[in-house]
Amino acid sequence: MDVWMPVVVVVVASYLLGSLSFAVIVSRFMGLNDPRSYGSKNPGATNVLRSGSKKAAVLTLLLDAFKGWLPVALVLSRGADHGMGPEVAALAGLAAFLGHLYPVFFGFAGGKGVATAVGVVLGVHSSLALATLLSFAIVVYFSRYVSLASMVAAVFAPFFYLLGDGVVWQASVKEVLCLAVMALLLIWRHRENIQRLLAGTESRLGSKKA
């Protein structure tokens, strides 16, 4: 029990942190409409941007990424004193990601998790984040589909982590599994985007809606 208690505390705290829906919190603080009431109704930075406030959208993006990065970074920097290493850090990141998708404070109806996933990956290692963001940028550049790029980058993240094993970091099965679960959940949350991509009706970056 003593061995597992710190891990349980970290996982629960990470989930609660992830459950802070900053799209809703920032919008309320800045006097904007609830992002769940307009546009895609998704509580994320992209939908907050539809309110017309770039400042609110950027703040939401940064805070959503921060809540994914923080628990991972804290465990990696402080966890060794309590017997916790990279595997627990990855688990904490997954818990924060789940909190964003299914926030206990907001009726378990959260966002799609892209920014939070980026924060988790950044917390794991900056090189992993760079490789993942580069894959995102390449797909966006050639396809102009942000949703497609987000899913491709999420899928590539665990593969990049495996490729770096023994070179940049020491990977473990549990860490790879956490990244893979995040990728699968992110794709699941983009299922409507997938339908639109298949139908050819998904919005491209820079295009104007009629």
pLDDT at position 157, please?
A: 96
Question: Cα–chain-centroid distance for residue 58?
Answer: 15
Q: Give the length of the chain.
A: 210
Q: pLDDT tens-digit profile of 136-152?
A: 999 999 999 999 999 99
Alpha-carbon distance of 110 to 100, in angstroms, equals: 6
Residue 187 parent element (H or E): helix 173-189
| 3-state DSSP percent of the chain in helix, strand and coil, to 5 | 70, 0, 25
pLDDT at position 176, please?
A: 94
Q: What is the mean pLDDT of the chain?
A: 92
Q: Of 133, 136, 138, 134, give the one whose Cα is nearest residue 149.
A: 136
Alpha-carbon distance of 110 to 131, in angstroms, equals: 27
- Residue with more model confidence, 133 or 81: 133
Give the count of alpha carbons within 13 A of 119, CB side only. 29
Q: Of 200, 99, 107, 113, give the one whose Cα is nearest residue 154.
A: 113
- Burial of residue 54 (CB within 10 Å: 0-12, 13-18, 19+) is exposed
Q: pLDDT tens-digit profile of 180-189?
A: 999 999 999 9
Question: Cα–chain-centroid distance for residue 109?
Answer: 15
Domain boundaries, the chain: 5-199
Banded pLDDT at 2 (limits 50, 70, 90): low
Banded pLDDT at 1 (limits 50, 70, 90): very low
pLDDT at position 167, please?
A: 82
Whether the per-residue pLDDT at 102 is higher than 90: the answer is yes
